[in-house]
């Protein structure tokens, strides 16, 4: 009986501490609304800020669109096989082309969360660089109880001329967090890049399983 109890406890601990991964490939292409959940990850607050386009013109959330969208992005997966799991990606705003072709939507900000405590996470971003987008800073934050506990960022290449697609892995780490927020700024104000997201993941720290297991084992002992 004691062995069975231990196995059950460890099984529950594993479930409590498991990674959450959203690759969108099981979703149906189309608009998903203001929030949705897949792979244990909940997405919300897309483009819910006001700011300025790269040319200086102001925008509001209504100008960008606040929907999440699933795009069948086979052509993107073919171009960036190390960053995109075929066939689907997450798009934003009002941009949507049915079928295998895509249009990169506007990203001013988007948030994502998972149940549990995690020590690392990240996503893959396909975006436009150069052209009007050069110089924009893209940031991914790790958030715990409303406070930023970790972040990473990069500046979009500014080579002038025509814009072109590029891809980047973004990852964050902290002792504990349950939310990530992606956003774009230029000269200290919110702006928008054009991009799509794939492979969003939240990963617990190596000690999370052991801590959960000890807590559940203690509860089992108290029940006896």
- Using the structure block, give the residue that is written with the tokens 């104000």: 189
148/156 Cα distance (integer angstroms): 22
Peptide bond into 87 cis (omega under 30): yes
Structure tokens, 52: 């300025």
pLDDT tens-digit map of 68-79: 999 999 999 999
**CATH code that applies to domain 21-202:** 2.60.120
Q: How confident is the model at residue 13 (pLDDT cuts 50, 70, 90)?
A: very low
pTM for the model: 0.86
Q: How confident is the model at residue 207 (pLDDT cuts 50, 70, 90)?
A: low
Q: Is 40 exposed, middle or buried (0-12, 13-18, 19+ CB in 10 A)?
A: middle
Check the CA dihedral 127-130-133-137 and report its sign: positive
pLDDT tens-digit map of 41-88: 999 999 999 999 999 999 999 999 999 999 999 999 999 999 999 999
- pLDDT value, residue 215: 44
120 in Cβ contact with 107 (< 8 Å): no
Structure tokens, 146: 């409303």
pLDDT tens-digit map of 149-195: 999 999 999 998 999 999 999 999 999 999 999 999 999 999 999 99
Residue limits of CATH 2.60.120 in the chain: 21-202
pLDDT tens-digit map of 101-141: 899 999 999 999 999 999 999 999 999 999 999 999 999 99
Residue 7: count of CB within 10 angstroms of its CB: 10
Consecutive H or E run containing 104: none
């Amino acid at each position: 009986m004691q062995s069975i109890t231990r196995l059950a406890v460890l099984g529950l601990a594993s479930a409590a501490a498991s990674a959450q991964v959203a690759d969108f490939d099981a979703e149906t292409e189309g608009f998903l609304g203001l929030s949705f959940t897949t792979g244990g990850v909940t997405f919300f607050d897309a483009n819910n800020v006001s700011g300025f386009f790269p040319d200086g013109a102001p925008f509001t959330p209504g100008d960008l669109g606040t929907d999440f969208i699933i795009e069948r992005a086979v052509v993107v997966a073919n171009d960036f096989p190390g960053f995109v799991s075929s066939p689907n990606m997450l798009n934003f705003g009002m941009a949507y082309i049915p079928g295998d072709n895509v249009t990169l939507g506007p990203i001013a900000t988007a948030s994502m969360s998972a149940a549990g405590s995690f020590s690392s996470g990240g996503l893959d971003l396909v975006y436009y660089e150069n052209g009007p987008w050069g110089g924009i800073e893209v940031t991914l934050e790790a958030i715990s109880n409303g406070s930023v506990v970790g972040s990473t960022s990069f500046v979009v290449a500014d080579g002038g001329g025509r814009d072109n697609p590029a891809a980047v892995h973004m990852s964050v780490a902290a002792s504990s967090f349950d939310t990530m927020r992606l956003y774009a700024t230029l000269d200290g104000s919110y702006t928008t890049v054009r991009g799509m997201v794939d492979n969003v993941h939240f990963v617990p720290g190596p000690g999370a399983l052991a801590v959960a297991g000890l807590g559940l084992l203690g509860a089992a002992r108290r029940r006896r």
